[in-house]
Amino acid sequence: MSQTVRIPIGRRVRLKNFDPGDTSRCRDKDEALHVLERHVRRMAELQQVLFAQGKHALLVVLQGMDGAGKDGTIRHVMSGLNPQGCRVTAFKTPTPEELAHDFLWRVHREAPALGWIGIFNRSHYEDVLAARVLKIVTPSVWRRRYDHINHFEKLLSDSGVTILKFFLNISKSEQKERLQKRLEDPRRAWKFDPVDWENRKRWDDYMAAYEDAIHRCNTRCAPWHIVPANKKWYRNLIVSGHIVAALEEMRLKYPAPRRRPDRN
């Protein structure tokens, strides 16, 4: 039986019950790659109409542990998008200017304009994940942030932004293998950060933080999806399928010309 990907509203999540290696929706890698190609082409077609109509926007939020495949998902799933209507934002450690504002300030200014697709590589959820686990803020601060996040996402939704949130779920053993390969590959070693290994020691704390974030911020206007990500090809298939479905649900149409040309 295939696992749930979109999490029902109000359901308490236990990540240990979700198999990171699940491929039950498509066990054939070649078939999955073929379907992914179709999804990429369809996404490109829909993006063109989205941009032309200018009445909707799409925000894709990618979260996951180090090595979960956020960069890889962007590279493979979004490969057909036109950069003129797509913006990728990677949220790093806040700058002094960003720390001088509320925690959502830097996020709101990166939200996609109508007609655009925005992709967040990490996001405002770091402020209830890393900030919580690393004790950057007190519990009284991060506990209030769930409501702030829900209100923020509702504002975006009410303004025409469709929000898709994906937790790329990998196992601890798969993460270790990926980090080790990254360290040994000269083309990827630059991405290695010793902090990634330190964070592995806090794996259980991060899983608890993710469970709370998914439970507290899983709403009708901004649902969470738990994506099995041990198999990269399956991860890409699932994410791309949900993005295409979200764009198609917008019922996009090309707008009529602003003024008919004079053909005399």
Can you give the pLDDT at residue 264?
Answer: 60
> What are the tens digits of pLDDT across the range 106-140?
999 999 999 999 999 999 999 999 999 999 999 99
Contact assessment for residue 59 and residue 164, using Cβ atoms and an 8 Å cutoff: yes
Can you give the pLDDT at residue 1?
Answer: 36
Contacts of 98 (CB under 8 A, 6+ apart): 105, 106
Can you give the pLDDT at residue 185?
Answer: 84
Can you give the pLDDT at residue 183?
Answer: 87
Handedness of CA 212, 216, 217, 223 (dihedral sign): positive
From residue 219, how far is each of 6, 157, 215 by CA, in Å?
11, 11, 9
Chain centroid to CA 184: how far?
27
CA-based nearest residue to 63, from 40, 90, 86: 90
b/e map 55-89, b = 16+ CB within 10 Å = ebbbbbbbbbbbbbbbebbbebbbeebeeebbebb
Can you give the pLDDT at residue 187?
Answer: 84
Report how far residue 86's alpha carbon sits from residue 89's, in angstroms, rounded to the nearest whole number.
10
Tokens of 242: 């949900």
Mean pLDDT, the chain cut into blocks of 10 residues (264 residues total): 76 95 94 97 98 98 96 97 97 95 98 98 98 97 98 98 98 95 84 82 97 97 97 97 98 88 64
CA-based nearest residue to 89, from 121, 124, 126, 62: 121
Contact assessment for residue 39 and residue 94, using Cβ atoms and an 8 Å cutoff: no
**pTM score of the predicted model:** 0.94
Q: What residues form DSSP beta bridges with 164? A: 60
Domains of the chain: 15-249 (3.40.50.300)
Can you give the pLDDT at residue 262?
Answer: 66
From residue 112, how far is each of 95, 106, 107, 157, 222 by CA, in Å?
21, 13, 10, 11, 15
